[in-house]
C-alpha cells in the first residue's frame, strides 16, 4: 500500500466540521459522533493495511459514509417487528404479542411503585405471587401456584426441589429438546436430580414406571412432546395411569404440558394440545407451562398444582433466583383476567384473535394490500396467494393452519435483497421466501398493522 494513502485520510476534526457529520451532531449526542468517527477511521486504517489499490474518498463522501454507519449503529437492536412469516409463536420474534389490557397493566406498574410484596389492606408484608395466584387457581382449578422466569426455570425448580440427589422417572419417548439448548436430560443434570429413563423410544407402558420405582424415586414426570410426534407402533402411559400409580406409591407426578393452553385449541382446528385445567383435574401434582406460548401472555414459567407440592417449590431458594418482576406479574394477571370470560379472551388475547381470524377476512385484507402494492414502482407483481402455516414456538408441529398471503416479486432487485431490506427497515418486516417470491403471510399480522406493512414495502421497493 502506498504510504500516502493513510496520510490522505482526513482528520477527525476535519470530518466533524463537514456538513453530514455536523448535521448528525444535532440529531444524536456529540460524544456518540466523535467516538463513531474515531472507530470508523481506526477500522479503515486497519483495513487499508491489507489493500494495495485504494482511492481515498473525498472528505464529504467519507463523512456521508461515516454518518450513515453511525446512524445504523444507533438503531436499537431490539425493536418492533411486523411478523409476516405466518408463524404465530415465533421464538425469534418474541413469541406471543400481548393483549392491550396486559400492556396497559404493565405500563401502569412500571411508571411508579407498586404493591409487589405489600398487602395494602393490612400493611403487612406479603408474597409477590398473591397478585396472580388466585387468578391462576381460578382458571386452572389448582390449589396453589408459583411463577418463575420461564418454563425451563419452572422445570429446573421442580426437579431440584423434589428430586435433588434422587431419581425422577421419565419415559424415553419424552426426553425432549426444545431448542435454544433446552434438553430435558441436561436440565435434569443441572437440577441435581437423576434421570431414570424407562421404556423405549416408541413404547413405554405404565408397568415400566411401576418397575422402576424404588427407594431412590422422588417423582414421576410426563413431558408433552410439543415439537415432534412419534407415530406408528407407539404407546405412552396416560396421565391418569401415572396419577393412580403415584397415589399408590405416594409419589408426586409432574406434568410439563409446555404451551399452557387454557382453552381447547381444537376450536381452531389444532388437536392434541394439553389443557392446564384438564391436567389439574386428572390429578397431576404439579403442572408446568410457559406464559408466552398458547396462553398468550408475557414470558414466564407457571407451576400450578397441589398446595403441598407447590409449597415445596415456593420455599426453595431457586424460586428467589428465578423470580419475576412486577411488570411480568402485572401482565400475566391482566392476561389471566381476560380468560375469566373465554369469549373475551378470544377477542382480546392477540394470539387467539389471530388464530380465530376467518379465511375470508385474511383474503380480503391480502387483496387490499396486493392491489395497493401492484402499482408501486419497483414492484413487478403483487398478488394474493392461499397457503398454510404453523403455530410455531415448539407447539403442534404437524398441524397446518390455513392462511392468505401477498406474494411479491421485486422489479429488478433479487428477492433476497428485497427481503433483507424489508427486514432492516423501519418498521422491520419479516416475511418468507417461497419460489422466488416474498410472501407476506397475514395470519400473523395484526389487522392494525396492514397499512404500516404496505407502507414499509412501498418505502423499501422505491429505494431498491
Ligand atoms: C417450550 C417448552 C419448554 C420450555 O419453555 P420456555 O418457556 O421456553 O422456557 C419446556 N417444556 C416443554 C414441553 C415446552 O414445550
Across the range 334-355, mean pLDDT stands at 97
Q: How far is ligand 1, taken at its centre, from the CA of residue 193, in Å?
A: 19
Q: Supply the pTM of this predicted model.
A: 0.91
Distance 321 CA to ligand 1 centre (A): 19
Give the integer Cα–Cα distance in Å for 281 and 402. Answer: 32
Ligand 1 pocket, 297 CB below 6 A?
A: no
pLDDT-derived band at 396 (thresholds 50, 70, 90) equals low
> 299 CA distance to ligand 1 centroid (A)?
11
| Mean predicted confidence (pLDDT) in 169-196 | 93
pLDDT higher than threshold 80 for residue 394:
no
Asked whether 224 lines ligand 1 (CB < 6 A), one says yes
Which of these three, 326, 348, 370, is where a domain ends?
A: 348
Mutate to test the pocket of ligand 1, among 91, 151, 291 (most ligand atoms within 8 A of CB): 151
For residue 277 and ligand 1, the question of a CB distance below 6 A is answered with no
State the residue for C-alpha cell 395484526.
446
Site of grid cell 414499509: 456
1 in a structural domain: no
Q: Please tell me whether residues 127 and 256 are part of one structural domain.
A: yes
The pLDDT value given to residue 167 = 98
Which ligand 1 atom minimizes the distance to the CA of 225? 13
Residue 226 in contact with ligand 1 by CB distance below 6 A = yes
Domain count along the chain: 3
Alpha-carbon gap, residue 169 to 186, rounded angstroms: 15
Query: Which of 94, 153, 182, when mutated, tests ligand 1's pocket best, judged by the most ligand atoms within 8 Å of its CB?
Result: 182
Residues 308 and 398 in one domain: no
The preferred substitution site among 290, 291, 301, 393 for testing ligand 1, maximizing ligand atoms within 8 Å of CB, is 290
* Structure confidence at residue 397 as a pLDDT band (50, 70, 90): low
Whats the size of the chain, residue-wise?
464
User: What kind and span of H or E run contains 353?
Assistant: helix 350-356
Are residues 221 and 115 part of one domain?
A: yes
Q: Atom 6 in ligand 1: which residue has the minimum CA distance?
A: 151
| Whether residue 364 has pLDDT greater than 80 | yes
Does residue 258 line the site of ligand 1, with CB under 6 A? yes
Distance 152 CA to ligand 1 centre (A): 6
Q: Do 396 and 432 sit in the same domain of this protein? A: yes
pLDDT averaged over every residue in the chain? 94
Distance 254 CA to ligand 1 centre (A): 14
Question: 357, 334, 336: which is closest to 347 by C-alpha?
Answer: 357
Question: Which one is predicted more confidently, 392 or 409?
Answer: 409
Q: Which domain holds residue 296?
A: 100-348
Kindly report which listed range (8-22, 210-224, 341-355) carries the lowest average pLDDT score: 8-22
**Residue 55: per-residue pLDDT:** 78
Question: Does residue 175 share a domain with residue 63?
Answer: no
Average pLDDT over residues 417-436: 95
Spacing, Cα 289 to ligand 1 middle (Å): 7
Q: Is the pLDDT of residue 65 over 90?
A: yes
Residue 231 covered by a domain: yes
> Which has the higher per-residue pLDDT, 147 or 126?
147
> Which residue has the least CA distance to atom 12 on ligand 1?
258
Q: What is the mean pLDDT of residues 107-129?
A: 93
> Which of 332, 348, 364 is the last residue in one of the domains?
348
Q: Kindly state the percentage of the chain with pLDDT values over 70.
A: 98
Tell me if 215 is assigned to some domain.
yes
Rg (CA), the chain: 27
Whether 2 has a pLDDT exceeding 60, the answer reads no
117-121, 175-179, 203-207, 448-452: least confidently modelled range: 175-179
Q: Are residues 360 and 453 in the same domain?
A: yes
C-beta 290 within 6 A of ligand 1: yes
Give the confidence band of 4 by pLDDT, cuts at 50, 70, 90: low
CB of residue 69 inside a 6 A radius of ligand 1: no
Structural domain contains residue 296: yes
Nearest to 229 by CA among 109, 398, 15, 10: 398
At residue 298, does pLDDT exceed 80? yes
Half-sphere exposure of 113 (CA within 13 A, CB side): 4
Question: What is the pLDDT averaged over residues 45-58?
Answer: 80
Specify the 3-state DSSP secondary structure of 207. helix
Please compute the mean of the pLDDT values over residues 33-61 and round it to a whole number: 86
Question: Which residues does residue 221 pair with via DSSP β-bridges, in sequence order?
Answer: 170, 254
- Give the pLDDT score at 349: 98
Do 446 and 381 lie in one domain? The reply is: yes
Tell whether 87 and 50 lie within a shared domain: no
Q: Which atom of ligand 1 is nearest to the CA of 180?
A: 8
**Quick one: which of 23, 121, 19 has its CA closest to 60?**
19
- What confidence category does residue 226 fall into, taking pLDDT thresholds of 50, 70 and 90? confident
| Cβ 223 under 6 angstroms from ligand 1 | yes
What is the pairing mode between strands 286-290 and 81-83? unpaired
- 363 and 337 in a single domain? The answer is no
Domain of 333, CATH number, reads 3.40.640.10
Which residue's CA is the closest to the ligand 1 atom numbered 2? Answer: 258
Reading the block at residue 255, the C-alpha cell is 406434568
Query: Is pLDDT of 1 > 60?
Result: no
- Whether 279 is covered by a domain: the verdict is yes
Q: Which residue has the higher pLDDT, 75 or 83?
A: 83
53 with 160, same domain?
A: no
- The whole-number pLDDT of residue 385 equals 98
Alpha carbons 275 and 264: distance in angstroms, whole number: 7
Residue 40 lies in a domain: yes
Residues 272 and 387 in one domain: no
Q: Is residue 151 in contact with ligand 1, taking CB distance under 6 Å?
A: yes
Ligand 1 midpoint to CA 258 (Å): 5
CA 272 to centroid of ligand 1, rounded, Å: 16
Per the domain annotation, does 144 fall within a domain? Answer: yes
Q: Give me the CATH number covering residue 374.
A: 3.90.1150.110
- Return the C-alpha cell found at 347: 377477542
Q: How far is the CA of 259 from the centre of ligand 1 (A)?
A: 7
Asked whether the CA dihedral 240, 244, 249, 250 is positive or negative, the reply is: positive
pLDDT at 58: 84
Residues 343 and 407 in one domain: no
Residue nearest to atom 11 of ligand 1 (CA): 258
Closest CA to 62 of 6, 21, 25: 21
At residue 184, the pLDDT reads 94
Amino acid at each position: 500500500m502506498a504510504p500516502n494513502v493513510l496520510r490522505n485520510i482526513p482528520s477527525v476534526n476535519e470530518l466533524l466540521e463537514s456538513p453530514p457529520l455536523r448535521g448528525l451532531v444535532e440529531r444524536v449526542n456529540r460524544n456518540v459522533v466523535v467516538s463513531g468517527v474515531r472507530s470508523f477511521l481506526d477500522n479503515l486504517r486497519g483495513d487499508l493495511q491489507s489493500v494495495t489499490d485504494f482511492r481515498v474518498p473525498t472528505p464529504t463522501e467519507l463523512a456521508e459514509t461515516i454518518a450513515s454507519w453511525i446512524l445504523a449503529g444507533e438503531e436499537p437492536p431490539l425493536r418492533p417487528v411486523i411478523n409476516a412469516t405466518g408463524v404465530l409463536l415465533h421464538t425469534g420474534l418474541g413469541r406471543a404479542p400481548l393483549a392491550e389490557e396486559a400492556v396497559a397493566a404493565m405500563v401502569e406498574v412500571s411508571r411508579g411503585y407498586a404493591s409487589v410484596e405489600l398487602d395494602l389492606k393490612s400493611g403487612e408484608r406479603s408474597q409477590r405471587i398473591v397478585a396472580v395466584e388466585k387468578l391462576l387457581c381460578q382458571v386452572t382449578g389448582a390449589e396453589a401456584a408459583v411463577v418463575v422466569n420461564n418454563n425451563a426455570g419452572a422445570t429446573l425448580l421442580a426437579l431440584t426441589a423434589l428430586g435433588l440427589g434422587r431419581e425422577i422417572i421419565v419415559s424415553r419417548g419424552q426426553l425432549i429438546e426444545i431448542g435454544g439448548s433446552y434438553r430435558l436430560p441436561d436440565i435434569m443434570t443441572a437440577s441435581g436430580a437423576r434421570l431414570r429413563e424407562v421404556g423405549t423410544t416408541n413404547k413405554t407402558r405404565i408397568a415400566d414406571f411401576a418397575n422402576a420405582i424404588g427407594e431412590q424415586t422422588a417423582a414421576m414426570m410426563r413431558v408433552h412432546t410439543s415439537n415432534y410426534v412419534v407415530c406408528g407402533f407407539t404407546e405412552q402411559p396416560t396421565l391418569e395411569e401415572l396419577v393412580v400409580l403415584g397415589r399408590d406409591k405416594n409419589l408426586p407426578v409432574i406434568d410439563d404440558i409446555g404451551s399452557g393452553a387454557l382453552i381447547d385449541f381444537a376450536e381452531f382446528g389444532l388437536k392434541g394440545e394439553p389443557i392446564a385445567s384438564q391436567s389439574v383435574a386428572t390429578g397431576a401434582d404439579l403442572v408446568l407451562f410457559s406464559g408466552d406460548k398458547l396462553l398468550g401472555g408475557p414470558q414466564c414459567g407457571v407451576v400450578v398444582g397441589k398446595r403441598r407440592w407447590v409449597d415445596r417449590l415456593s420455599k426453595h431458594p431457586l424460586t428467589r433466583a428465578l423470580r419475576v418482576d412486577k411488570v411480568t406479574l402485572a401482565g400475566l394477571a391482566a392476561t389471566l383476567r381476560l380468560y375469566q370470560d373465554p369469549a373475551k379472551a378470544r377477542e382480546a388475547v392477540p394470539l387467539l384473535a389471530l388464530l380465530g381470524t376467518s379465511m375470508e377476512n385474511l383474503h380480503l385484507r391480502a387483496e387490499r394490500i396486493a392491489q395497493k402494492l401492484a402499482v408501486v414502482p419497483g414492484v413487478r407483481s403483487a398478488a394474493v396467494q392461499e397457503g398454510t402455516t404453523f403455530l410455531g414456538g415448539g407447539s403442534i408441529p404437524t398441524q397446518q393452519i390455513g392462511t392468505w398471503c401477498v406474494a411479491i416479486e421485486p422489479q429488478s432487485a433479487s428477492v433476497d435483497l428485497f427481503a433483507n431490506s424489508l427486514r432492516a427497515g423501519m418498521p422491520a418486516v419479516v416475511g418468507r421466501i417461497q419460489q422466488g417470491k416474498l410472501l407476506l403471510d397475514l395470519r400473523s399480522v395484526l389487522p392494525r398493522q396492514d397499512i404500516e406493512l404496505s407502507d414499509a414495502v412501498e418505502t423499501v421497493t422505491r429505494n431498491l
